[in-house]
Amino acid sequence: AQKVTQAQTEISVVEKEDVTLDCVYETRDTTYYLFWYKQPPSGELVFLIRRNSFDEQNEISGRYSWNFQKSTSSFNFTITASQVVDSAVYFCASKTDSWGKLQFGAGTQVVVTP
Amino acid sequence: DAGITQSPRHKVTETGTPVTLRCHQTENHRYMYWYRQDPGHGLRLIHYSYGVKDTDKGEVSDGYSVSRSKTEDFLLTLESATSSQTSVYFCAMLAGSYGYTFGSGTRLTVV
C-alpha cells in the first residue's frame, strides 16, 4: 500500500525567509507519480507540480523548487523568499495504480507573517 | 470555466437524514473521484468511478454510496448522515497525463 508522510504540521516564517516542506512516500511500485498541491485560505486545491518516478531532475519554477530523491523516497518542496500570499496548506500526493487514485499526505500549514 | 462543479457548496443537515452531493463535469472524462478532507488526515478517497455505472470503494467508504448514470455526473450519497461525516468534500476528475481537476469543495455540517 502506498503512503505519504508530511511530518511537519505547521511551519511559521517571516516574510522573505525560505521554507522547505518535507514529503516522504512509500510504494513498492516502480512507476508512480508525485504531486504537490496548494490550498489557500479560500479552500480550492491548486496544482503545483507533477513528477514521474523516472524523472529525478530537480525543478525550479520562480520562487518554488522541488527536490526529488528516490534513494530517500522524498519529494521536498522549497519556497524561496516567502511572501504572505504563500500562506496556505500544502499537500503532497502520490499515484501508483492504474485507476488514478491519489494518496495524500496530511498537509503542512505554512504561515508567512510580514 | 473549471470544467467541474460541485453542488451544493455548503450544507447543514441533521443527523439521520439522507444527503446527496453532486459533481458535474463538462469534459467527458472517464475517471472521477470523491474525497473528504479532515484536519490531520489530508484528503482521503471515498469512492471513485471509471465509467458509467462503474464505481469502486476507496479508503473511507463506510456510510457512503455513489452513482454514475451519466459520464458527466457523479453523485455521492450519505444514506443516514452522522456527525462524523461533517467534513469538506472534494470531487475530482482525471484528464490525460495524470492531470487532475478538483471541484471547489462542499462544506457539509451534520448537526
What SS3 class is residue A24? strand
Cα-Cα-Cα-Cα torsion B91, B94, B100, B103, nearest 10 degrees, comes to: -20
Kindly report the backbone phi and psi dihedral angles of residue B61, in degrees, each rounded to the nearest multiple of 5, phi listed first.
-90, -15
pLDDT digits (tens, 9 = 90+) for B3-27: 999 999 999 999 999 999 999 999 9
Angle at B95 between CA A1 and CA B99, to 5 degrees: 60
Give me the residues of A, 51-90, that contact B with CB < 8 A. none
Q: How far apart are CA B89 and CA A58, in angstroms?
A: 33
CB contact under 8 A, A104 and B42: yes
- CB proximity A105 to B under 8 Å: yes
Beta strands in chain B (DSSP E): 4-7, 10-13, 19-25, 31-38, 42-51, 54-57, 64-70, 73-78, 87-95, 99-102, 106-110
| CA nearest to B64, candidates B87, B86, B41, B80 | B80
**What pLDDT does A97 receive?**
83
Q: Please provide the size of chain B in residues.
A: 111
Rounded CA Rg of chain A: 14
Q: How far is B60 from chain A (nearest CA, A)?
A: 12
- CB proximity B9 to A under 8 Å: no
- CB proximity B77 to A under 8 Å: no
- Cβ–Cβ < 8 Å for B11, B109: yes
Read off the DSSP letter of residue B101: E
Q: How far is A1 from chain B (nearest CA, A)?
A: 11
Q: How far apart are CA B77 and CA A53, in angstroms?
A: 36
CB atoms within 10 A of CB B28: 9
Report the phi/psi class of residue B94: left, alpha or beta, with left for phi > 0 and alpha for psi in -120 to 50.
beta
B44: which chain A residues are within 8 Å (Cβ-Cβ)?
104
Q: Are strands B64-70 and B73-78 parallel, antiparallel or unpaired?
A: antiparallel
Q: How many CB pairs under 8 A join A and B?
A: 52
What SS3 class is residue A72? helix
pLDDT one digit per residue (tens) for chain A, 114 residues: 689 999 999 999 999 999 999 999 999 888 999 999 999 999 999 999 999 999 888 888 899 999 999 999 999 999 999 999 999 999 999 997 888 999 999 999 999 999
Name beta bridge partners: A46: A38
pLDDT over 60 at B1, yes or no: no
- Cβ–Cβ < 8 Å for B56, B1: no
B59 confidence band (pLDDT: 50, 70, 90): very high
